[in-house]
Structure 1
Amino acid sequence: MRIHHLNCGSLRKIPPLGKEPTTGVVPPELPAVCHCLLIETDSDGLILVDTGLGTADLRHPDRSLGTDWVAYAQPALDPEESALHHVVRLGYAPQDVRHIVLTHLHRDHTGGLPDFPHARVHVHPDEYRAVTDPAAAHHRYSLDRFMPAHRAHTPLLTPAVVEEGREWFGFPGVARPQGPACELLLVPLPGHSAGHAGVAVRDGDGRWLLHAGDAYMYHGELEHTPPLSHPVLEPVQQGAQTDAAARVATRDLLRGLRRDHADEVTVFSAHDPWELSRLAALTGWGRGL
């Protein structure tokens, strides 16, 4: 199994906040990213974790993503950053993407779904319920955030199965996507969306990667004491969250995970370009940096 860290959509540039505590170096200004994973497996073809912006978003951004969002996020709209381009660049066909696992259903995570209409799309059951059950408390809010252009092809949306009593490093409510044979889990990280979850995958060396989605947006929230949020990204977090207290509690749990299990787990978020730069340097991938 091989795991690629990809940028599937550069967004507005954000400045660094001083020196990095580990190196003492001031990092460069970089565009925010849509950090996705592409997992090559022996038995399940390709698995995408989140999809960033898709090719239809690049052709018709205002219609597909929304005029206000485009004006604020300032996407680069580079075709070479789409998940579809990354897949083809690796020598695969779109049909080789058999599974897509999503942290949640906001537009900057679902744009690539129409590029892989045959793929089974896995989400945590709480996120599935929020979108599909009209009686769910967050149904209208969640459906509004799951853009019509990204679901017009009727994606094969599938709730993962919660394994009763199963915890992952103390995180309860863990669910397993049905189909993939590799060690892949959806770990509830509540607060941002109704059923927001991180995606944990064990790599070939036995180490866990946790794609934490939008549970936090800047590495300073985990690495600095006290937590340091980014003034450009924090308003985005506050504007999207469904439960502020739950989001802060989730952030604090991730801080503890990083502190106590750094030798077992690498945690990263969806939009921090400096995190992606570090991880992409290890794999030689990550277009858009």
Structure 2
Amino acid sequence: MNRERAVACHCLLIETDSDGLILVDTGLGTADLQHPDRSLGADWVAYAQPALNPEESALRQVVRLGYAPQDVRHIVLTHLHRDHTGGLPDFPDARVHLHPDEYRAVTDPEAAHHRHTLDRFMPPHRAHNPLLTPASVDESTEWFGFPGAARPQGLACELLLVPLPGHSAGHAGVAVRDGDGRWLLHAGDAYMYHGELDYTPPLTHPVLQPVQQGSQTDAAARVVTLERLRGLRRDHADEVTVFSAHDPWEFARLAALTG
């Protein structure tokens, strides 16, 4: 195990015929990388020690692919923690979709997790008043046995927000079909190390596991989510590719496959 490998902030850029570009999570933004203490919080920066390379921002990578920033018309978030929302100001006109439980936690002062979620959703990331839009939940809709999948409003492509509770108030994975008809599931922070899914019993990482435990809102719910993801990988590996936000080994493997 190479413990020196830096964790990833794995975003996903989806090119569609009907909806323009869709960005799943945004990683750290250009303002975060220019003024990290002010934008991300000095304590978090000292703890996480993020790489401060502007070329790794979603904005710069989108431009390097030949697109304009405004081509990103939609952003779909797994949740609202700072390492997933930093790029929101770089795409100020994009509509931002999230699970309704996460939306409620940040907009409704009466919601049980309101203050916790608002504290994690950094003020510089929302100062431009992003177009937060709750997805529509159909309680009868299941995705590979996961109940309550939500459809982002106004998107014609086959994309779902799949509840993966435990890490945040409304944490969700983002499921989308690729050009070959397979499903991709960006599982966000439902797990942080592939050993949690690939081994029995689950194998945790000595650095990533304390991070997960320190940031989760419901430990019991996260355990249930993890077991469901283990079953998904075991029973539907030929139909679904599951990956998380921060596992650098997973990221390297998938990046090699896509070139």
The alignment's TM-score, normalised by the length of structure 2, stands at 0.98
Q: What letter corresponds to residue 159 of structure 2 in structure 1? A: L
Aligned mate of 2:150, from 162, 175, 179 = 175
Q: What letter corresponds to residue 91 of structure 1 in structure 2? A: G
Asked whether 1:204 is paired with 2:164, we answer no
Asked whether 1:16 is paired with 2:2, we answer yes
Q: Which residue of 2 aligns with 1:229?
A: 204
List alignment gaps of at least 5 residues for structure 2. Answer: none
Alignment of 1:1-289 (within 5 A): 16=2, 29-284=4-259
- Displacement of 1:262 in angstroms is 0.3
- Displacement of 1:41 in angstroms is 1.0
Superposition RMSD in Å: 0.9
Q: Which of the two has greater helix per residue?
A: 2
- Displacement of 1:44 in angstroms is 1.1
Work out the percentage of aligned pairs sharing the same amino acid.
Answer: 86
Q: Deviations over 1:156-188 (max 9, x none)?
A: 000000023000000011100012211100000
- Displacement of 1:43 in angstroms is 1.8
- Displacement of 1:214 in angstroms is 0.2
Residues of 2 paired with 1:164 and 1:127: CA distance?
A: 17
Structure 1 runs of 4+ aligned residues shifted over 6 Å read none
List alignment gaps of at least 5 residues for structure 1. Answer: 1-14, 18-28, 285-289
Question: Contact 2:107 / 2:114 at 8 angstroms: preserved in 1?
Answer: yes
Residues of 2 paired with 1:218 and 1:59: CA distance?
A: 29
- Displacement of 1:30 in angstroms is 1.6
Q: Deviations over 1:188-208 (max 9, x none)?
A: 000000000000000111100
Q: Which residue of 2 aligns with 1:21?
A: none
Residues of 2 paired with 1:101 and 1:78: CA distance?
A: 23
- How many pairs does the alignment contain? 259
Residues of 2 paired with 1:165 and 1:76: CA distance?
A: 42
- Displacement of 1:16 in angstroms is 3.0
Q: What letter corresponds to residue 202 of structure 1 in structure 2? A: R
Residues of 1 paired with 2:65 and 2:218: CA distance?
A: 39
Residues of 2 paired with 1:179 and 1:49: CA distance?
A: 16
Q: What letter corresponds to residue 100 of structure 1 in structure 2? A: I
